Amino acid sequence: MASRTDARRRRHNRVRKSLTGTAERPRMAVYRSNRYIYVQVIDDVAGHTVASASSQEEELRSDSLTEETAAKVGKLVGDRAKEAGITSVVFDRGGFTYHGKIKALAEAARESGLEF
Protein backbone atom coordinates (compact mmCIF):
# COMPACT_ATOMS: atom_id res chain seq x y z
CA MET A 1 0.00 0.00 0.00
CA ALA A 2 1.36 3.41 -0.96
CA SER A 3 1.87 6.05 1.68
CA ARG A 4 0.40 9.54 1.48
CA THR A 5 3.85 10.86 0.56
CA ASP A 6 4.18 8.36 -2.30
CA ALA A 7 0.74 9.32 -3.59
CA ARG A 8 1.65 13.03 -3.47
CA ARG A 9 4.90 12.35 -5.34
CA ARG A 10 2.98 10.43 -8.02
CA ARG A 11 0.56 13.35 -8.40
CA HIS A 12 3.47 15.78 -8.59
CA ASN A 13 5.26 13.74 -11.25
CA ARG A 14 2.06 13.51 -13.28
CA VAL A 15 1.62 17.30 -13.23
CA ARG A 16 5.32 18.01 -13.83
CA LYS A 17 5.21 16.19 -17.17
CA SER A 18 3.40 19.18 -18.65
CA LEU A 19 4.70 22.05 -16.46
CA THR A 20 7.95 23.78 -17.37
CA GLY A 21 9.27 27.15 -16.29
CA THR A 22 10.99 29.41 -18.79
CA ALA A 23 12.95 32.63 -18.32
CA GLU A 24 9.87 34.68 -19.28
CA ARG A 25 7.45 32.60 -17.21
CA PRO A 26 9.25 30.59 -14.50
CA ARG A 27 7.68 27.83 -12.41
CA MET A 28 6.61 28.70 -8.87
CA ALA A 29 7.09 25.43 -6.96
CA VAL A 30 5.60 24.94 -3.49
CA TYR A 31 6.58 22.35 -0.89
CA ARG A 32 4.84 22.01 2.45
CA SER A 33 5.96 19.95 5.40
CA ASN A 34 4.05 19.65 8.66
CA ARG A 35 6.14 22.45 10.16
CA TYR A 36 7.25 24.76 7.31
CA ILE A 37 6.30 25.89 3.82
CA TYR A 38 8.80 26.60 1.05
CA VAL A 39 8.40 28.24 -2.36
CA GLN A 40 10.83 28.76 -5.23
CA VAL A 41 10.51 30.56 -8.55
CA ILE A 42 12.51 28.37 -10.95
CA ASP A 43 13.72 28.86 -14.53
CA ASP A 44 13.80 25.20 -15.64
CA VAL A 45 15.52 25.96 -18.95
CA ALA A 46 18.58 27.52 -17.28
CA GLY A 47 18.23 25.43 -14.11
CA HIS A 48 18.29 28.49 -11.83
CA THR A 49 16.20 29.55 -8.88
CA VAL A 50 15.18 33.16 -9.51
CA ALA A 51 13.55 33.85 -6.13
CA SER A 52 12.65 31.89 -3.03
CA ALA A 53 11.06 32.25 0.39
CA SER A 54 10.13 29.99 3.27
CA SER A 55 8.59 30.04 6.71
CA GLN A 56 12.04 29.17 8.10
CA GLU A 57 13.27 32.71 7.51
CA GLU A 58 14.27 34.76 10.53
CA GLU A 59 11.12 36.90 10.78
CA LEU A 60 8.74 33.94 10.27
CA ARG A 61 10.52 31.10 12.08
CA SER A 62 8.77 31.68 15.40
CA ASP A 63 5.30 31.46 13.80
CA SER A 64 3.59 28.08 13.56
CA LEU A 65 2.46 27.02 10.09
CA THR A 66 -0.97 28.55 9.56
CA GLU A 67 -2.73 30.05 6.57
CA GLU A 68 -1.55 33.50 7.76
CA THR A 69 2.08 32.35 7.79
CA ALA A 70 1.66 30.82 4.32
CA ALA A 71 0.21 34.12 3.10
CA LYS A 72 3.24 36.00 4.48
CA VAL A 73 5.55 33.62 2.58
CA GLY A 74 3.48 34.14 -0.58
CA LYS A 75 3.77 37.91 -0.28
CA LEU A 76 7.50 37.62 0.36
CA VAL A 77 8.15 35.48 -2.71
CA GLY A 78 5.91 37.72 -4.82
CA ASP A 79 7.91 40.79 -3.81
CA ARG A 80 11.23 39.03 -4.45
CA ALA A 81 10.08 37.83 -7.87
CA LYS A 82 9.02 41.37 -8.79
CA GLU A 83 12.48 42.63 -7.76
CA ALA A 84 13.98 40.02 -10.09
CA GLY A 85 11.79 41.28 -12.94
CA ILE A 86 9.28 38.42 -12.96
CA THR A 87 5.61 39.33 -13.47
CA SER A 88 4.10 36.01 -14.58
CA VAL A 89 4.70 32.47 -13.31
CA VAL A 90 3.41 28.92 -13.77
CA PHE A 91 2.05 27.63 -10.45
CA ASP A 92 3.29 24.19 -9.38
CA ARG A 93 1.39 23.07 -6.30
CA GLY A 94 3.71 20.09 -5.88
CA GLY A 95 0.98 17.46 -5.73
CA PHE A 96 -0.68 19.15 -2.76
CA THR A 97 -4.37 20.02 -2.92
CA TYR A 98 -5.10 23.64 -3.84
CA HIS A 99 -6.69 24.33 -0.49
CA GLY A 100 -5.83 25.92 2.84
CA LYS A 101 -2.18 26.90 3.17
CA ILE A 102 -1.31 26.33 -0.51
CA LYS A 103 -4.28 28.46 -1.61
CA ALA A 104 -3.41 31.20 0.92
CA LEU A 105 0.17 31.32 -0.38
CA ALA A 106 -0.99 31.52 -4.02
CA GLU A 107 -3.53 34.26 -3.36
CA ALA A 108 -0.97 36.35 -1.43
CA ALA A 109 1.49 35.99 -4.30
CA ARG A 110 -1.21 37.15 -6.72
CA GLU A 111 -1.98 40.15 -4.49
CA SER A 112 1.68 41.12 -4.50
CA GLY A 113 1.57 41.36 -8.30
CA LEU A 114 2.38 37.94 -9.75
CA GLU A 115 0.13 36.59 -12.50
CA PHE A 116 -0.69 32.88 -12.89
Domain residue ranges of the chain, discontinuous segments joined by +:
4-111
4-111 CATH, one of 3.40.250.10, 3.30.420.100, 3.40.50.300, 3.40.640.10:
3.30.420.100
H or E stretch covering 83: helix 67-83
pLDDT in tens, 8-52: 999 999 999 999 999 999 999 999 999 999 999 999 999 999 999
Supply the pTM of this predicted model. Answer: 0.94
Phi, psi dihedral angles at 111 (to 5 degrees) = -65, -30
Rg (CA), the chain: 14
Contact 75, 94 (CB under 8 A): no
Provide the pLDDT for residue 78: 98
> Confidence band (pLDDT; 50, 70, 90) for 90?
very high
